[in-house]
Amino acid sequence: MAKGKESTIHIGIFGIRNQGKSSLINKIAGQEIAIVSEHPGTTTDPVKKSIEIPGLGPVVLIDTAGADDTGEVGLKRINKSIEAIKHVDLAILVISGNQISKTDIFLIDLFIQNDLNFLIAHNKSDLIPLDKDFALKTEKEYGVDVVAVTCTHESDISNLIAKIRLNIPESAWKKNSMIGDLVSYGDIVLLITPIDIEAPEGRLILPQVQSIRDILDNDAVAIVLKERELDTFLKTTGIKPKLVITDSQILLKAAASVPDDIPLTGFSILLARYKGDFEAYLQGTPKISELKSGDKILMLESCTHLVSCDDIGRVKLPRWISNFTGKDLHFDFVAGLDKLQTPIEEYALVIQCGGCVVTKKQIMNRLSPAKKADIPITNYGMAIAYVQGVYKRAIAPFTGSIIDSLDYL
């Protein structure tokens, strides 16, 4: 599965072949984004389209291949469709003819296992109308809405969209503020943003942009500077920021320059609390000290990018952890939201990136196998802070005072 924007709702269209899934997604989107054919199995890889739904905002629609596909290639298509379940906020199961197949029941079971909201769209209702008794029985059995849909009837599509609005979980569209509980009107937040070889040409990286927007949304003031201007700024302006947020890899330098009475954290740590499993990260991060030679560490990157010699996740962080522990460790890297090639039980630690380009649900599902296997998990920024010796201070804005936080460490 390709990544999606951090704040965008993802809706997946599922079902067996030739139920009109592609026609339905085209009608919802108001344009032809999926190939429509009378031949079953036309859709291969999941097809994605970003649209705007009034009352919800940006939405990514995902058209998946038929879950009853056949053959070796068909099995691969099915696996990709099943994998999509982990990355959507709402599923629409498309059926027709007042029938729910064994494959549909299999999909419903997967929706329930993944704690995924879903509704059932009875398509082609102009050919075989939705039977009221069937609808009532199905709604009672699964506790979901069953909607009659005909792609040629605008009123049906409007009704389906209304049901989508009702069934989207609040957590998917109602976003918590990243720092709203840390700052008040007029507070100054200082952002330290290094411009190095990894910085994109002509722009800031996404976590920095997201932080600036969140600061403005909370009627606070954002001041942005590079690390080499930090000391001069603090000495000459007399400004005392309410909060300082820095790139994680220079946390140690920032901690040396920023007075102890000014809260300090990192962009990745901010994201860890905003959309990661922060409580599990707090418990898992200190486990770095318990690593042994030969241990495997899984590095989870939520995006794909060209790797430089100074790459934070592939080069610097593994080196820092190895130097900190003094152990001979093995690091595996998985980019995007691809499947793991090694059983999760083989890892001693899982380290998730900030996840700026994916949803919280995608991150939580990504980490779920490790949690179920009782494998410690942490986040890039928190791991960096830990091995640099500034962990307590970096998490203190979210856990209590700098002095008293995390006495169990």
Task: Flag whether 399 is in a domain.
Answer: no
Task: Flag whether 71 is in a domain.
Answer: yes
**Claim to verify: residue 106 and residue 141 sit in the same structural domain:** yes
Task: Flag whether 290 is in a domain.
Answer: yes
**Claim to verify: residue 282 and residue 265 sit in the same structural domain:** no
Concatenating the DSSP letter of every residue in 114-183 gives: TT-EEEEEE--TTTSPPPHHHHHHHHHHH-S-EEE--TT-HHHHHHHHHHHHHHS-HHHHSPPPSSTTT-
Structural domains in the chain (count)? 3
* Secondary structure of residue 76 in the 3-state scheme: helix
Give every strand in the sheet of 264-266, ordered side by side: 221-225, 188-192, 243-246, 264-266
**Cα(93)–Cα(75) distance, integer angstroms:** 19
Task: Flag whether 403 is in a domain.
Answer: no
Task: Flag whether 108 is in a domain.
Answer: yes
**Claim to verify: residue 67 and residue 18 sit in the same structural domain:** yes
pLDDT confidence of residue 58: 83
**Claim to verify: residue 25 and residue 138 sit in the same structural domain:** yes
Range of the domain at 243: 188-270
Per-residue pLDDT in tens (0 to 9) along the chain, 409 residues = 333 444 588 999 999 988 988 888 888 877 554 444 444 444 445 778 888 877 777 888 998 888 887 777 778 888 888 888 888 999 999 999 999 999 999 999 999 998 899 999 999 999 999 999 999 999 999 999 999 999 888 888 889 999 998 898 876 666 678 899 999 999 999 999 987 656 566 678 888 998 999 999 999 999 999 999 999 999 999 999 999 999 988 999 999 999 999 999 999 999 999 988 999 999 999 999 999 999 999 999 887 554 455 688 889 999 999 999 999 999 999 987 677 889 999 999 999 998 888 888 888 888 999 999 999 999 999 999 999 999 999 999 998 644 344 444 4
**Claim to verify: residue 70 and residue 218 sit in the same structural domain:** no
pLDDT confidence of residue 1: 37
pLDDT confidence of residue 65: 86
**Cα(254)–Cα(244) distance, integer angstroms:** 9
Task: Flag whether 104 is in a domain.
Answer: yes
**Claim to verify: residue 247 and residue 106 sit in the same structural domain:** no
**Claim to verify: residue 202 and residue 124 sit in the same structural domain:** no
**Claim to verify: residue 305 and residue 213 sit in the same structural domain:** no
Decide the pairing of beta strands 47-53 and 57-63. Answer: antiparallel
**Claim to verify: residue 167 and residue 23 sit in the same structural domain:** yes
pLDDT confidence of residue 69: 78
Neighbouring C-beta atoms of residue 54, cutoff 10 Å? 7
pLDDT confidence of residue 169: 82
For the chain, counts of helices (H) and of strands (E): 15, 14
For the entire predicted model, the pTM comes to 0.70
The residue out of 270, 291, 309 marking a domain boundary is 270
Q: What angle do CA 293, 272, 329 make, to 5 degrees?
A: 10
